[in-house]
Amino acid sequence: MKAMYPGSFDPITIGHLDIIERASKLYDEVVVAINENVSKKATFSPQERKELIEKCTRHFSNVRVIIGNGLTVNIAKKEGCSVLVRGIRAIADYEYELALATTNMKLDKDIETVFLVAKPEFSFLSSSIAKEVAHYGGDITQMIPESIIEEVKERLL
């Protein structure tokens, strides 16, 4: 079974990476789909985000990264994915994720959303928090995958 993990990944954090790793053990293939989230202004271009994710997922043989354009369920269908993986950190994520999953369910009843619960050490980690810390020169080693830290730091300082 193939799963898609859609998100902004602006940039990928170790919390995202943990979800990718866990999903890669559950499914035959995981397609990480970078969406151009219109309501969020992105810092990194889709191509940059793709390269960053590829750099830190190289060691997973069943993970692929794409830039998705359009409705998530349509992209999933096109890629042959019947599952959408999303991460839930704290209760604050729940309402938004529930609305999203319910909408996707209405749009395509054959695609299921599966939630993976964030590890406690990552439950307060987000791309925006990591960006803010990096921007002010703080230590992001506990937030951003090691192989892309320098790139991310340079870009945000």
DSSP codes of every residue in 114-150:
EEEEPPGGGTT--HHHHHHHHHTT---TTTS-GGGHH
Lookup result for tokens 């090691």: 146
The tokens describing 121, both together, are 């050490």
Query: Is 82 one of the catalytic residues?
Result: no
- Out of 4, 73, 75, 125, the residue judged to bind ligand ADP by CB under 6 A: 125
Subset of 12-71 contacting ligand ADP (CB under 6 A): 13, 15-16, 19, 37, 40
Is 93 a binder of ligand ADP (CB under 6 A)? yes
Is 9 a binder of ligand ADP (CB under 6 A)? yes
- Out of 126, 134, 140, 148, the residue judged to bind ligand ADP by CB under 6 A: 126
Q: Count Cβ atoms below 10 Å from residue 92 Cβ, excluding itself.
A: 10
> Which one-letter amino acid corresponds to residue 77?
K
DSSP 61: T
Nearer to ligand ADP, 1 or 99 (CB): 99
Is 11 a binder of ligand ADP (CB under 6 A)? no
Query: Is 127 one of the catalytic residues?
Result: yes
Q: Which residues are catalytic?
A: 16, 40, 89, 127
